[in-house]
């Protein structure tokens, strides 16, 4: 076994569920150097959201860039543009007030964060290219 993920709750500084699984995992890794990662459980972006993004927003971006800028982009380039514009964490220097943007992956987005990201992408396409991207529930009719 290379890795294991166990969901639990913490109350008064102690794990409250799956404690037997946690104990077994600790025994399994006995004598080994391990990494322990703790993070708040979240509902990450869904497969449907990912499909909508790469199946609708990104192709419409590639078409808009070609039509308006005369450039041939692939999906990675379109995705990188949106990530640069809308997908980052901000670190503030308390002494100077300067802000540094650090990259973030869309895989880290919750379902709500992913919807906000999609909306920013749709707004950008409307403002820059006058392209109306359909919402996921609107469907797309191909001719």
Residue 77 exposed, middle or buried by CB count within 10 Å (0-12, 13-18, 19+): middle
Weakly modelled stretches of the chain, pLDDT under 50: 142-143
User: Angle CA(117)–CA(143)–CA(74) in degrees, nearest 5?
Assistant: 45
User: Rounded to 5 degrees, what are φ and ψ at 49?
Assistant: -65, -40
Spell out the residues 6+ positions from residue 117 whose beta carbon is closer than 8 angstroms to its own: 82, 86, 87, 106, 109
Q: State how far the Cα of 130 lies from the Cα of 68, in Å rounded to an integer.
A: 10
For residue 3, the model assigns a pLDDT of: 76
For residue 140, the model assigns a pLDDT of: 58
pTM > 0.85? no
Tell me whether strands 10-11 and 14-15 are parallel, antiparallel or unpaired.
antiparallel
For residue 55, the model assigns a pLDDT of: 95
For residue 47, the model assigns a pLDDT of: 85
Q: State how far the Cα of 57 lies from the Cα of 115, in Å rounded to an integer.
A: 12
Helix or strand holding residue 88 (H, E): strand 88-92
For residue 143, the model assigns a pLDDT of: 44
For residue 142, the model assigns a pLDDT of: 46
For residue 137, the model assigns a pLDDT of: 80
């Amino acid at each position: 076994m290379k890795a294991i993920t166990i969901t639990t709750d913490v109350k008064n500084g102690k794990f409250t569920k799956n404690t037997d699984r946690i104990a077994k995992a600790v025994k399994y890794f006995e004598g080994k150097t391990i990494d322990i990662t703790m993070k708040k459980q979240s509902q990450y972006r869904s497969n449907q959201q990912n499909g909508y993004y790469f199946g609708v927003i990104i192709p419409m971006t590639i078409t808009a860039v070609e039509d308006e800028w005369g450039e041939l982009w692939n999906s990675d380039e379109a995705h990188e543009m949106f990530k640069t514009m809308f997908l980052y964490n901000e670190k503030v220097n308390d002494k100077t007030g300067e802000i540094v943007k650090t990259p973030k992956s869309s895989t880290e987005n919750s379902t709500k964060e992913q919807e906000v990201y999609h909306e920013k992408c749709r707004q950008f396409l409307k403002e820059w290219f006058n392209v109306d991207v359909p919402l996921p529930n609107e469907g797309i009719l191909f001719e």
